[in-house]
Amino acid sequence: MKTDSGVSFKLVISFASLCLFLPFSTLAQSPSASPHSKSGLLQPFTYRDVKLAGGPMGVQAKEARDFYLNLSEDNLLHGFRKRAGLPTPGNPMGGWYDPEGFAGAHPFGQYVSALARMFANTGDSRYKEKVARLVHGFHETLAADGYFYSSEKVHKEWPNYLYDKNCIGMRDAFNLTGNKEALVVLKKMTDWAVTNLPRRRDEWYTLPENLYSCHALTGDSRYLQMAKEYDYSKEFYDPFANGGNAFTPKLHAYSHVNTLMSAAKTYEVTGDEKYFKALENAWTFLTTTQMYASGGWGPGERFVTPGQGKFAESIEKSDSHFETPCGAYANVNLDRYMLRFTGSPKYGDNMERVLLNGMLATLPMQPDGKTFYYSDYRSGTQKKYFRDLWPCCSGTFAQITADYPLDIYFHNENGIYVNLFANSTVQWEHRKQAVTLEQVTDFPETDTTTLTIRMRKPDRFTLNVRVPAWTSGAVTVKINSKIVKVENSPGSFLKIERSWSDGDKVQVTLPMAPHYEAIAPESPNVRALLYGPMLLVALTDKPVSLTENDARINVVKGSNKLPAFHTHDDKLTFLPIHKVKDERYTTYFTIGAGSGG
């Protein structure tokens, strides 16, 4: 290949140098010296403050907005109307959504929630109007006592799960679109739930997070009481707070990472340090004992007992290594809470990894309800859709993509923090002056991002940019095309404090290099290959076994933005997993002096 100047450039990286890079799991074990606060050392921006402008995140978010905006409202309401004895225009949606399916109409509230978030971000009235029609249609189907399920089957099998999701939908419909009818619906559902909802059965684990939010929204003390009734301290939070690992194989993985959001909300509301300790330790155990190189976790939707070689065994024993939209949604929410509480960039590193190699590596939603559910890390596999239509991941797919604006930037009274590298703008009010920060980047295909500041008059504040732990080599910072020295190190925020003027440009280059990560300490020869934060998979339909000599990587930079990646003998070609479409690929390789083939 050739560079734009016509000169080929090939970088050969030896296996030994590749292994100099610490695995992410090792980096995550570093004890946090950061202070923390329940009110947050960093503050989030709102949906309205941040606008995506293309790039992988922007494209996926736009596709998701278009998809969910076009869902048939009559189809979504069909089961509810049938149960209520009302006319049923439209058609049953089938799959998990069917009233007699696995969990009838379970993502309805998530769809409403996501559409409300999409309105809050875009200001497009079509999303607000769709939310209003769905809330009204759902309201019409509620029984006099507030009973709201689409069938007796789902009421018996998933009572808490459905109440939780519908609370989210009505809460966001009111909070983000101003829909007052949604608050009426929420009260009616809760009138029924207070008396009739079974406590701590089926998937109830995230209820406290949403109940605390509903209490803050309404002032209704019943939500506060129910939040306490669903607290998971004795069985789950307390072991983590005391330094133990409560991630055991008997537990459903997604639910038990998702329940950490209830611990986070409880800490935010009460300030009880027990919950913060539980969060901090759970995050460390998750990233050091359960996490694949992609940022995914939970093979077969279960945790793995560490230290017994089972994590490496899971690669070929399972085809369901990560419940991706649901798991990524839980993981990113946890990272966002922890980043806010502590200001530590390691949570941004983890968020970046699971978004890039998880969510951005999914297949798009299909009109008939086909949904990408599991990431598959077997040898010679292909990406595929889930066997059933409209599963739970169709709901979290909507929510996590709608939440992308919340993940990119944070702020405090002294400055802006750039957490993710994505084409976007953020509006920030600093000392009664509107400041706009525009980010233009081809990340992750290139290692540079450019930040342009727009403001009416000069002002002093700090621009903070995350320097990821994967950064290899010297970080270059240019201000208005001039190189400046800024203290930084991998796994930190570089800080530029100065007086800024309208039109100032900051260019930051964060060098990437290939590096291998062992799947677990007890399986050091089972490794995945990354380039910066990108998981590189081998384009092959076979298992891969390499000697240390064969494992050397050529990075070929040419006219394309993304380099090409090959073994030094060109026998294997690698591609970032988020770029894979229908190709067969292998994620983990056996590497060692005695390996070959």
Burial class (CB in 10 A: 0-12, 13-18, 19+), 174: buried
pLDDT at residue 592 in the model: 87
Strand partners, 43: 411
The pLDDT of 587-594, averaged and rounded, is 84
Angle between helices 324-342 and 260-270 (to 10 degrees): 30
pLDDT tens digits along 502-533: 999 999 999 999 999 999 999 999 999 999 99
Listed residues 489, 509, 529: the one ending a domain: 509
User: Is 352 within the bounds of a domain?
Assistant: yes
With 60 as the cut, is the pLDDT of residue 4 above it? no
pLDDT at residue 559 in the model: 77
Do residues 56 and 196 both lie within one domain? yes
Burial class (CB in 10 A: 0-12, 13-18, 19+), 511: middle
Task: Report the distance separating Cα 596 and Cα 337, nearest Å.
Answer: 45
Task: Report the distance separating Cα 281 and Cα 240, nearest Å.
Answer: 6
Cβ distance 390 to 381 under 8 Å? no
Task: Report the distance separating Cα 208 and Cα 267, nearest Å.
Answer: 11
The pLDDT of 177-187, averaged and rounded, is 98
Nearest by Cα to 460 from 438, 479, 433? 433
pLDDT at residue 412 in the model: 97
pLDDT at residue 581 in the model: 97
Residue type, 542: K
Cβ distance 363 to 386 under 8 Å? no
Phi–psi pair at 149, nearest 5 degrees: -75, 155
Do residues 92 and 152 both lie within one domain? yes
Do residues 219 and 123 both lie within one domain? yes
Is residue 444 reached through a cis peptide bond, with omega within 30 degrees of 0 on the bond before it? yes
pLDDT band of 18, cuts 50, 70, 90? low
Do residues 441 and 488 both lie within one domain? yes
Reading the block at residue 404, the tokens are: 């992308």
pLDDT band of 20, cuts 50, 70, 90? very low
Strand partners, 589: 527
Percent of residues, the chain, with pLDDT higher than 70: 93
Task: Report the distance separating Cα 212 and Cα 217, nearest Å.
Answer: 9
User: Is 166 within the bounds of a domain?
Assistant: yes
Cβ distance 13 to 555 under 8 Å? yes
Task: Report the distance separating Cα 585 and Cα 536, nearest Å.
Answer: 10
Task: Report the distance separating Cα 74 and Cα 86, nearest Å.
Answer: 12
- For the chain, the distance separating the N- and C-terminal CA atoms, rounded to the nearest angstrom, is 27
Nearest by Cα to 80 from 70, 67, 90? 90
Parallel, antiparallel, or unpaired: how do β-strands 589-591 and 545-546 relate? parallel
Angle between helices 221-229 and 207-218 (to 10 degrees): 170
pLDDT tens digits along 75-105: 999 999 999 999 999 999 999 999 999 999 9
Element counts in the chain: helices (H) and strands (E): 20, 23
Residue type, 80: F
pLDDT band of 19, cuts 50, 70, 90? low
Reading the block at residue 218, the tokens are: 């309404």
pLDDT at residue 26 in the model: 40
Do residues 503 and 579 both lie within one domain? no
CB under 8 Å to 362, separation ≥6 — which residues? 324, 325, 372, 397
User: Is 241 within the bounds of a domain?
Assistant: no
Task: Report the distance separating Cα 378 and Cα 321, nearest Å.
Answer: 9
The pLDDT of 27-41, averaged and rounded, is 69
With 50 as the cut, is the pLDDT of residue 547 above it? yes
Cβ distance 585 to 573 under 8 Å? no
User: Is 118 within the bounds of a domain?
Assistant: yes
The pLDDT of 162-177, averaged and rounded, is 97
pLDDT band of 34, cuts 50, 70, 90? low
User: Is 38 within the bounds of a domain?
Assistant: no
Task: Report the distance separating Cα 155 and Cα 147, nearest Å.
Answer: 9
pLDDT band of 267, cuts 50, 70, 90? very high
Do residues 126 and 72 both lie within one domain? yes
Do residues 210 and 128 both lie within one domain? yes
Q: For the domain that residue 479 is a member of, what is the CATH number?
A: 2.60.40.1180
The pLDDT of 136-152, averaged and rounded, is 97
| DSSP-assigned states of every residue in 349-409 | HHHHHHHHHTGGGSPPP-TT-----EE--STTB-----SSSS-THHHHHHHHHHTHHHHHE
With 90 as the cut, is the pLDDT of residue 1 above it? no
User: Is 1 within the bounds of a domain?
Assistant: no
User: Which one is predicted more confidently, 429 or 28?
Assistant: 429
Do residues 83 and 123 both lie within one domain? yes
Nearest by Cα to 492 from 348, 288, 283? 348
Q: Rounded mean pLDDT of the chain? A: 93
pLDDT at residue 15 in the model: 54
Do residues 70 and 209 both lie within one domain? yes
Task: Report the distance separating Cα 244 and Cα 204, nearest Å.
Answer: 23
Reading the block at residue 9, the tokens are: 């450039």
pLDDT at residue 571 in the model: 93
pLDDT band of 434, cuts 50, 70, 90? very high
Percent of residues, the chain, with pLDDT higher than 90: 90
Do residues 360 and 440 both lie within one domain? no
Residue 140 CB neighbour total at 10 angstroms: 12
Give me the number of domains the chain comprises.
4
Do residues 373 and 442 both lie within one domain? no
User: Is 91 within the bounds of a domain?
Assistant: yes
pLDDT at residue 12 in the model: 52
pLDDT tens digits along 474-511: 999 999 999 999 999 999 999 999 999 999 999 999 99
Nearest by Cα to 512 from 552, 557, 551, 478? 557
With 60 as the cut, is the pLDDT of residue 277 above it? yes
Reading the block at residue 320, the tokens are: 């369901």
User: Is 250 within the bounds of a domain?
Assistant: no
Do residues 156 and 214 both lie within one domain? yes
For the ranges 145-149, 321-325, 548-552, which has the lowest average pLDDT?
548-552
pLDDT at residue 487 in the model: 94
Listed residues 230, 264, 286: the one ending a domain: 230
Q: Which domain holds residue 415?
A: 411-509
- Residue matched to tokens 């993981």: 331
